[in-house]
Amino acid sequence: MIDSIEEAKELLKEAHEYDVLTESNIDDTITELADGNCDVYNYDLWKWAGEDSGKWAEEALDEFGWDGCGKELTKVFMMGQYLANSEKLREAWEELEEELKDEN
């Protein structure tokens, strides 16, 4: 789980070191990073769900539906984490993009 915008910016900076991030490839990078930073252990997913993920579980159900989440509550939480990670990464990209423009 990506815990902050700053952590998301660091992940994007690391990705930028390997492949120059641009508007044309940022969606793929965000998708990969968002998915790769979801908790894989049920304990961690349930812990996250108990802390503050109600909004994200609802978002996951709205976006993917019960069937799209595999008809499993744990997968709803994982899809919610994916959406939360994606949002943080998008916000981080907006900030990072400005920083990269300023450097050039």
Q: Would you state the pLDDT for residue 82?
A: 97
What pLDDT, in 10s, does the model give residues 13-32?
Answer: 888 777 777 777 889 999 99
Whole-prediction pTM: 0.87
Three-class secondary structure assignment of 66-81: HHHCCCCHHHHHHHHH
Q: Would you state the pLDDT for residue 53?
A: 64
Give the chain's length: 104
Q: Would you state the pLDDT for residue 1?
A: 92
Q: Would you state the pLDDT for residue 10?
A: 92
Model confidence at 104, in pLDDT bands (50, 70, 90)? low
The full set of domain ranges for the chain reads 5-103
